[in-house]
Amino acid sequence: MANLHPVPAEFAARARIDKAGYEKLYAESVSDPEGFWGRIGKRLDWIKPYTRVKDVSFDISDLHIRWYEDGVLNVSANCLDRHLATRGEKTAIIWEGDDPDDSRHISYRELHAEVCRAANLLTHLGIGKGDRVAIYLPMIPEAAVAMLACTRIGAVHTIVFGGFSPDSLASRIADSQCKLVITADEGVRGGKRVALKANVDAALERPNTNSVETVLVVRRTGGAVDMQVPRDRWWHALMEGQSEQHDPVPCEAEHPLFILYTSGSTGAPKGVLHTTGGYLVHASYTHECVFDLREDDVYWCTADVGWVTGHSYLVYGPLANGATTVMFEGVPNYPDSSRFWQVVDKHKVTIFYTAPTAIRALMREGEDPVTRTSRASIRLLGSVGEPINPEAWEWYYRVVGESRCPIVDTWWQTETGGILITPLPGATDLKPGSASLPFFGIKPAIVDANGNLLDGATEGNLILTDSWPGQMRTVYGDHQRFIDTYFRTYPGNYFTGDGVRRDEDGYYWITGRVDDVINVSGHRLGTAEVESALVAHVSVAEAAVVGCAHDIKGQGIYAYVTLKVGVEQSEALRKELIAWVRKEIGPIATPDYLQWAPGLPKTRSGKIMRRILRKIAENAPDQLGDTSTLADPSVVRNLVDERMIRG
Ligand code: PRX
């Protein structure tokens, strides 16, 4: 029986939503979604109000998802202009640099002026409504300015995480056919510099990147860069002459807002497309309810803007709500492992939202780096990105939150746009390790492998039987892939790719991915991506990659490699292949283990049996299960023996 943490009295008394409120609103939201979301949609400023709320079919022969379809709005006007009258001098962004002596407060008025100038600049560079813009920036205020400037003119941004390699950047630019790339000379993280502009230069040498006409370069470090005229232009030089006035461009509710690439079971990362109206309603409403937002909160989400969490809960949700949001350039352990809590004390952070992998890494350093800081300002903690193990949950609760602060364990995905299963801090009793109950309008269900609905306390695959406003609308440029990936497995429903257990109280416990996606430190990677990077090396004949348990990262990457005939196995080659994957995709894809595989376990039809490879990686040879369908069972014996030698 899990340790139950009831809603603290302070939250119950002051919360936006209490237990009775949750039950009432949830019931309404699922019985009358049109009425419910019709009302909630009014939280935004619409240039032209919507008259239609929901037009959705999950039927694969007629799949469509439309929310607030005839409404017209502008995202940046909702995040900035409408706050000027009442919150103009309020801090919108507190920027905390990698260097602890470096920080800045940017008011809503200042941010508005910067975004207007940037919108004028983009227009001047020939970027218009619907054009794609790649953003490859470190965690500096210009990242938020660039995002909002795109939304102001109706351009579609695609942010590429600064840790991705030139190849990964190139494939995203090629797929989305961007006209502009916004980058920086270099990024700084943990005292180390990252050569972003040089990576852009390398990316633009790759095929199908000719769509890029301009590269705008923000000066972050002043490090030397190679400016190719006329393609490359300095951000600061061009921003200088721009006006601080700009009329936001009206965008239809279903106008594309951004594309964000994410990994799936097969093939190259998919361009998840989110649109304007529904996304912003969902991001802002969940941000307000889940974090029980108050006007004087200082809210800090530690995610990078390169991930969906950075989109929805660092920039769009908080700014649409007129909140103060902290943007942190650095890492949790620089200059030392008290850094998060030093930043909390410095800026009097009240709400802190991070990933389990960071908590586990800090937990390893002991309690002292935490307890030597005050953290008295914190009132609410959050977790996102992967299942949080109960030990890490309890440590986060007891040590960081001093057993006073509820933890909201928020389950969602790049595809969902915002939080779907989560506690509400004033309404939900907490069970460590459980994302708990569905948010308003969310209808989770559990099915077995054959699609049979399972009732009551049970375990199986997580599906969602109805839409919500923040749902992705398509895979950019490949609608068929959207249908096939999410709606074909359990027709009529959205399949999440996650396994889940539901307990006797109706609480959901996400058990992890059930497909060939691995979750490394809260970052999604397809095993197929790592495999294709490996086989691109001249020495490799074949590769198979699986996830394995990892104390800090949650999951690590375990690669099996078959070398080409005549190539010798060696430690040097093992290291070279690990470095190769790191260079091909980026540091997050670095394999943790690489085992030589003279052969891979395959069925007679040639399909690699990953179930077996996962068990070998786990060092559980007694749990291999049925191997009788293998073409050559001796392959398994060899792999197990090698694994045993390594220990
Ligand atoms: O497996 C689930 C896991 O992360 C996946 C989504 O990854 P991504 O699209 O990169 O988005 C991460 C940030 C929302 C999910 O399919 N996941 C995310 N949050 C949780 C989680 N697993 C368990 N508990 C969570 N709170």
DSSP annotation string for 325-360: EEEE-S-TTSS-TTHHHHHHHHHT-SEEEE-HHHHH
**Alpha-carbon separation of residue 95 from 10, 101, 111, 347, 403 (angstroms):** 30, 11, 12, 10, 28
Per residue, what are the HEC states of 539-583? Answer: CEEEEEEEEEEECCCEEEEEEEEEECCCCCCCHHHHHHHHHHHHH
Average pLDDT over residues 51-68: 98
**Would you state the torsion angle of the CA atoms of residues 532, 537, 542, 547, taken in this order, to the nearest 10 degrees?**
-50
Q: Which of 384, 389, 393, 439 to mutate to test the pocket of ligand 1 (most atoms within 8 A of CB)?
A: 384
Query: What number is the average pLDDT over the span 512-524?
Result: 92
Q: Which residues contact 640 (CB under 8 A, 6 or more apart)?
A: 616, 621, 624
Establish whether this prediction's ipTM goes over 0.90: yes
- Give the Å distance between the CA of 624 and the centre of ligand 1: 28
* CA triple 194-197-203, angle to 5 deg: 105
Residue whose CA is at the smallest distance from ligand 1 atom 2: 386
CA torsion sign for 268, 522, 590, 218 is: positive
Atom of ligand 1 nearest to the CA of 422: 26
Residue nearest to atom 12 of ligand 1 (CA): 385
Atom of ligand 1 nearest to the CA of 412: 14
Nearest CA to ligand 1 atom 24: 387
Q: Does the Cβ of 498 fall within 6 Å of ligand 1?
A: yes
Evaluate if residue 1 carries a pLDDT over 80.
no
Please tell me if the CB atom of residue 559 comes closer than 6 angstroms to any atom of ligand 1: no
Confidence of residue 605 (pLDDT cuts 50, 70, 90): confident
- Ligand 1 contacts CB of residue 303 (under 6 A): no
Average pLDDT, the chain: 96
CA distances from 54 to 464, 479, 554 (A): 16, 20, 38
SS3 274: strand
Q: How far apart, in whole angstroms, are the C-alpha atoms of residue 618 and residue 314? A: 36
Tokens coding 518: 């691995």
- With cut-offs at 50, 70 and 90, classify the pLDDT of residue 645: low
Place of tokens 């409404």: 71
In one-letter notation, the amino acid at residue 480 is Q
Amino acid identity of 438? P
Average pLDDT over residues 358-367: 95
What average pLDDT score do residues 63-83 get? Answer: 98
Ligand-binding annotation for 409, yes or no, is yes
Query: Would the CB of 500 count as within 6 Å of ligand 1?
Result: no
Q: Whose CA is nearest to atom 8 of ligand 1?
A: 413
Which has the closest alpha carbon to 610: 516, 511, 532?
516
> Strand 444-447 vs strand 458-464: parallel, antiparallel, or unpaired?
antiparallel
Percent of the chain with pLDDT strictly greater than 70: 99
Best substitution site from 519, 521, 555, 588 to test ligand 1's pocket, by max atoms within 8 Å of Cβ?
519
Our answer on whether the CB atom of 221 is closer than 6 Å to any ligand 1 atom is: no
Is 313 near ligand 1, meaning CB less than 6 Å away? no
Each residue's pLDDT tens digit, 337-352: 999 999 999 999 999 9
Task: Give the pLDDT confidence score for residue 7 in this predicted structure.
Answer: 96
Cα distance between residue 560 and residue 640, in whole Å: 12
Taking 60 as the threshold, does the pLDDT of residue 629 lie above it?
A: yes
Which of 6-10, 185-189, 419-423, 481-485 comes out lowest in average pLDDT? 6-10
> What is the average pLDDT across 457-462?
98
Q: Which amino acid is at 469?
A: P
Beta strands in 160-248 (DSSP E): 180-184, 187-189, 192-194, 214-218, 232-234
Name the nearest CA neighbour of 146 among 138, 157, 130: 157
Instruction: Give the residue with greater pLDDT, 309 vs 632.
Output: 309
| Nearest alpha carbon to residue 548 among 526, 576, 519, 523 | 519
309 CB near ligand 1 (under 6 Å): yes
Does residue 292 line the site of ligand 1, with CB under 6 A? no
pLDDT (0 to 100) of residue 268:
87
Could you tell me which of 143, 179, 156, 176 has the C-alpha nearest to residue 258? 156
* 103 DSSP β-pair partners: 96
Q: Is 109 annotated as a binding residue?
A: no
| Ligand 1 atom 25 nearest Cα | 411
pLDDT at 194 over 70: yes
Q: Which H or E run includes 26?
A: helix 19-31
The residue whose C-alpha atom lies closest to atom 13 belonging to ligand 1 is 385
Shortest-distance Cα residue to atom 5 of ligand 1? 413
User: Is 294 known to sit in a ligand binding site?
Assistant: no
Residue 524, annotated as binding a ligand: yes
State the greatest distance between any 2 C-alpha atoms of the chain, in Å, as a whole number.
Answer: 74
pLDDT exceeds 60 at position 206 = yes
Bridge partner list, 262? 270
pTM for the whole thing? 0.95
Q: With a 6 A CB cut-off, is 414 part of the ligand 1 pocket?
A: yes
Q: Which residue has the tokens 């595989």?
A: 597
What's residue 558's pLDDT? 97
Local confidence band at 647 (pLDDT 50, 70, 90 cut-offs)? low
Q: Is the pLDDT of residue 363 over 70?
A: yes
Query: Residue 20: which residues within 8 A CB-CB, separation 6 or more?
Result: none
Q: How confident is the model at residue 143 (pLDDT cuts 50, 70, 90)?
A: very high
* Tokens linked to 506: 């109706």
Q: Give the separation between CA 535 and CA 56, rounded to whole angstroms.
A: 41
pLDDT band at 468 (very low <50, low <70, confident <90, very high): very high
413 in contact with ligand 1, CB cutoff 6 A: yes
156 closest CA partner among 586, 479, 474, 480: 474
Q: What percent of the chain has pLDDT over 90?
A: 92
pLDDT(419) > 80: yes
* Best residue among 388, 472, 498 to mutate for probing ligand 1, ranked by most atoms within 8 Å of CB: 498
Residue 209 Cβ < 6 Å to ligand 1? no
387 lines ligand 1 (CB under 6 A): yes
Residue 632 has pLDDT above 90, yes or no: no
In order of start, what are the domains of the chain with their CATH numbers?
521-642 (3.30.300.30)
Q: What is the pLDDT of residue 267?
A: 80
**Measured torsion, CA atoms of residues 468, 470, 471, 474, in degrees rounded to the nearest 10:** 140
pLDDT at 2: 63
Look at residue 452 and tell me whether its pLDDT is greater than 90. Answer: yes
Mutate to test the pocket of ligand 1, among 259, 357, 411 (most ligand atoms within 8 A of CB): 411
